[in-house]
Homo-oligomer: A and B are copies of this chain.
Amino acid sequence: MTDSPLSRGGKRERLVAGAADLLHRKGIAATTLADIAQVAGVPPGNVYYYFKTKDDLVKAVVDTQAGQVTALLTELDALPRPAERLKALVRRWEAMREVIARHGCPIGTLATELDRRDDGLDTDGAQPIRQILDWVGTQIRLLGARNARQLAISLFAGIQGGALLANALRDPAVMTGQVRHLERWIDTLAADGRS
């Protein structure tokens, strides 16, 4: 297993991991390159050897998220039935309830922040969201629903909205309750599909 060209010692990886954590906790604008360098154990100002610009580093974080989402969905695909896959998905957000109550959903908050910049070339921060919506749509289609896209949006909106409210109220129980609600809704979908 060889390292990629520019990343001997894994410093590049540490920078991306540290940036992902700080971006989640403080947001893009409030996170300085000095912060990231410190967390990653890299000399401050040296970040530019690994990333041409701050936006490049943010883009790398989004790409990492997309990879993690791909890995998650692939893992869930191993489950035998669509309804179980969907419930396993929503339970992932329940498992993250503590960190969500503190800092929000990493995917949702980053996408929101990226979408509000009027930069010309913006990273597609919505890619992880699109991946999940497409996958959920596929699962719901397997359940036999006609309007799978709309139902996929409603399900993931329930997750993201639950995360937003849990964060605003700083209450992990909000996420738990919302996940329970969605699990029951998934059961309803599965029952409707069978009838």
Contacts and interface: CB of A to CB of B under 8 A. Distances in A.
Interface of A: 25-27, 29-30, 103-104, 108-109, 111-113, 115-118, 125-126, 129-130, 133, 150, 153-154, 156-162, 164-165, 167-170, 174, 177-178, 181
A128 to B, nearest CB: 9
A178 B154 contact: yes
A30 B117 contact: yes
Copies of this chain, how many?
Answer: 2
A160 B150 contact: no
A95 to B, nearest CB: 18
A133 B181 CA distance: 16
17 contacts: A26-B117, A30-B117, A104-B112, A104-B116, A108-B164, A108-B168, A112-B167, A112-B168, A125-B168, A126-B170, A130-B169, A150-B181, A153-B177, A156-B161, A159-B161, A160-B160, A160-B161
Contacts of A159: 161
